[in-house]
Structure 1
Amino acid sequence: MDWDKLRIFHAVADAGSLTHAGDTLHLSQSAVSRQIRSLEESLNTTLFHRHARGLILTEQGELLFDATRAMVKRLETATARIRDSEEEVFGELRVTTTTGFGTLWLAPRLAALYDKYPDLKIDLMLEERVLDLPMREADVAIRMKEPSQADLIRKRLMGVHMRLYASPEYLDRKGTPTELDELNQHRLISMNVGSTQVGAGASLVQHLLSYEIASMLTVNNYFGVLQGVLHHLGIGVLPDYVIQDFPNLVRVLPEIESGEIPVFLAFPAELRHSKRIAAFRDFVQDEIISYRKQVKKQSVEQ
């Protein structure tokens, strides 16, 4: 089977349009159409249904698209490994993690990585959905639970707890609760219990809600929760790692916290020799060592 025709088919199937695929491939629409027609003739089947709004894959087209998608992912992996210099770190690195960890912990620290490796191109993908690393939806992931996908190299980085925090200004105005029963006199800021989040965090929020909280602000990510706390709107349920960068926040009801949430770094086994992966892994580990030292220092000062 002609790989060039398969490459063009994959671009058309991905774009859903001859015109858009042609723009991507730098080919005319008629040239793309001829190649698709030739491929259909060689396979003696129809790969697309033609509609005014675009192209829709037939059942046979879906089967072929699954195959070409897997081939493209494998080629991307091979290309990434070939481009990894034995002595230099450069090129694109696709990193996925949760919105909260990515915005509150990882992104503010990336300057140190760029200072060391200025030719890196980080594509930071922040979402709660677990991306498929073996299928190369991302190169490396930081996850709030141990990955279950096969063919991954994984390393436990640290443990996180969800705790209650408020600004000094809010507590000066509303008072500091000393017992859980007093929470009903305050506004609670938390992730919406229906949002995708770690189980330990959701369990803590459910427990707090049993105390008949009168006023609530719910957000679908921890960055939003933090903004509410920083602007003195109430007491927020936040991961403990925010304190390193926001040491003025006050921990409320220090005996209350979630169970430990393990944080793992993972990447496909086939990228074990990647210099970019190694550079990112070492950077994260160094930052966590620094984070632990800072937390220990803050605990002593308190």
Structure 2
Amino acid sequence: MILTEQGELLYSATRDMAKRLAAATARIRDSEDAVFGELRVTTTTGFGTLWLAPRLTKLYDQFPNLKIDLMLDERIVDLPMREADVAVRMKEPSQADLIRRRLMDVRMRFFASKAYIDRHGMPETSDDLMRHRIVGYSPNANQVSAGQAWLRPFLSADTPSHLTMNNYYGVLQATLHGLGIGALPDYVAAEATELVNVVPSQASGVVPVYLAYPEELRHSKRVAAFRDFILEEIALYRRSLKDREET
């Protein structure tokens, strides 16, 4: 038993030493002027797959020697211990020694394909929604609490058929193909022009989106390149939403 505890302590110490060595190596690399090398970015599967990844072409066009390791996970990684370099999170980070910036606010809303509406009719009220098949995130999967609390009553309604899953890409595809009314983040549906926002008054609470990275990477050229890129893309995204609302 004593040997097991000693082994665990040795393993933990070795792992922490390896992380600190990686952090020191990264600091040396970050002192260079050029933007090159690996940048580990962590975010949720939904945001990374449906919003961030399609936009990365612009970043690579500007910095062709940059290598992005996009880590898609609902788990909150330890940035100070350098499990990742940069995080885009759906809540304000609570870890100390992080630089953070609020990027935008997201809400969950209901969307349906035009084909679904033609076949099943347009719901006008929340009570109408209760009589439709809802396609949404599984209540048992790790997700932001605002979306989970908002969707729960609709999934609990006395409707014989719903579809839930732990991936917003799947929810989007099922909704596009007319399987039901999808509960999706508005950043997803904003660019899916074939979807219609049904019962617009129905929306979740605000989900803030934050960019965060360790204080020690304040002067990192790789982090600065990614930060400036995502801030520019957020500005373009907001502008496109405003233009759409005005037309």
Normalised to the residue count of structure 2, the TM-score between the two structures is 0.95
The separation in 2 between residues aligned to 1:196 and 1:85, in whole angstroms, is 37
CA contact (8 A) 1:100 1:223 kept: yes
What do the CA deviations read for 1:74-118 (whole angstroms, capped 9, x no partner)? Answer: 111111121125431000011111111111101111111111111
Structural RMSD (CA): 1.4
Deviation at 1:195, TM superposition (A): 0.7
Which residue of the other structure, out of 114, 125, 132, is the alignment partner of 1:179? 125
Write the letter of the residue equivalent to 2:215.
Answer: A
2:151 match: secondary structure: helix
Partner residue in 2 for 1:61: 7
User: What residue in structure 2 maps to residue 282 of structure 1?
Assistant: 228
> Aligned AA for 1:186?
H
Say whether the 8 Å CA contact 1:152–1:268 is kept in structure 2.
Answer: yes
Distance in 1 (CA, whole Å) between partners of 2:16 and 2:131 is: 56
Alignment check: 8 A CA contact 1:154 1:267 kept: yes
SS of residue in 2 equivalent to 1:263: strand
Q: CA deviation at 1:282?
A: 0.7
| Distance in structure 2 (CA, Å) of the matches to 1:244 and 1:120 | 29
- Identical pairs, percent: 63
Deviation at 1:134, TM superposition (A): 1.0
Following TM superposition, by how much is the alpha carbon of 1:275 offset from its aligned partner in structure 2, in angstroms? 0.7
- TM-score, structure 1 as length reference: 0.78
Cα contact 1:244–1:294 (8 A) shared by 2: no
Specify the SS of the correspondent of 2:188: helix
Q: What SS does structure 2 have at the residue aligned with 1:256?
A: coil
Pick from 185, 188, 194: which aligns with 1:248? Answer: 194
Return the offset for 1:214: 3.0
8 Å Cα contact 2:155-2:162 kept in structure 1: no
Q: Does residue 124 in structure 1 map to residue 70 in structure 2? A: yes
* 1:158 and 1:264 in contact (8 A); partners too: yes
Which of 35, 53, 65 matches 1:89?
A: 35
**1:151 equivalent in alignment to 2:97:** yes
CA distance, structure 2, for counterparts of residue 66 and residue 184 of structure 1: 51
Shift of 1:173: 0.9
Q: Contact 1:184–1:214 at 8 Å: present in 2 too? A: no
Whichever residue aligns with residue 165 of structure 2, its letter is V
| Equivalent residues of 2:126, 2:199 under 8 A apart | yes
Q: Distance in 1 between matches of 2:114 and 2:100?
A: 39
The residue number in structure 2 matching 1:165 is 111
Match of 1:140 in 2: 86
How far apart are 1:285 and its partner, in Å?
A: 0.4
Equivalent pair of 1:177/1:252 in contact (CA under 8 Å): yes
203-212 or 156-165, larger mean C-alpha shift: 203-212
1:134–1:268 CA contact under 8 A, matched in 2: yes
Maintained 8 Å contact 2:109/2:185: yes
Residue 198 of structure 1 pairs with residue 134 of structure 2: no
Q: Match of 2:244?
A: 298
Task: Give 3-state SS (helix, strand or coil) of 2:200's partner.
Answer: strand
Q: Which has the larger radius of gyration?
A: 1
Structure 2 equivalent of residue 105 of structure 1: 51
Q: Are 1:94 and 1:122, in contact at CA under 8 Å, matched by a contact in 2?
A: yes
Runs of 5+ in structure 1 lacking a partner? 1-45, 48-57
Return the alpha-carbon distance in structure 1 between the equivalents of residues 213 and 130 of structure 2: 44
SS in structure 2 at match of 1:108: helix
1:53-79, Cα deviation, whole Å (9 max, x unpaired): xxxxx3212212222211211111111
CA distance in 1, matches of 2:206, 2:7: 46
CA contact (8 A) 1:181 1:211 kept: no
CA displacement, residues 207-262 of structure 1 (integer Å, 9 cap, x when unaligned):
32354333201011211110111111110000000133212210000000001000
Matched, 1:208 2:128: no
Count the aligned residue pairs.
Answer: 246
Contact 1:102 1:126 in 2 (8 A): yes
2:183 aligned with 1:237: yes
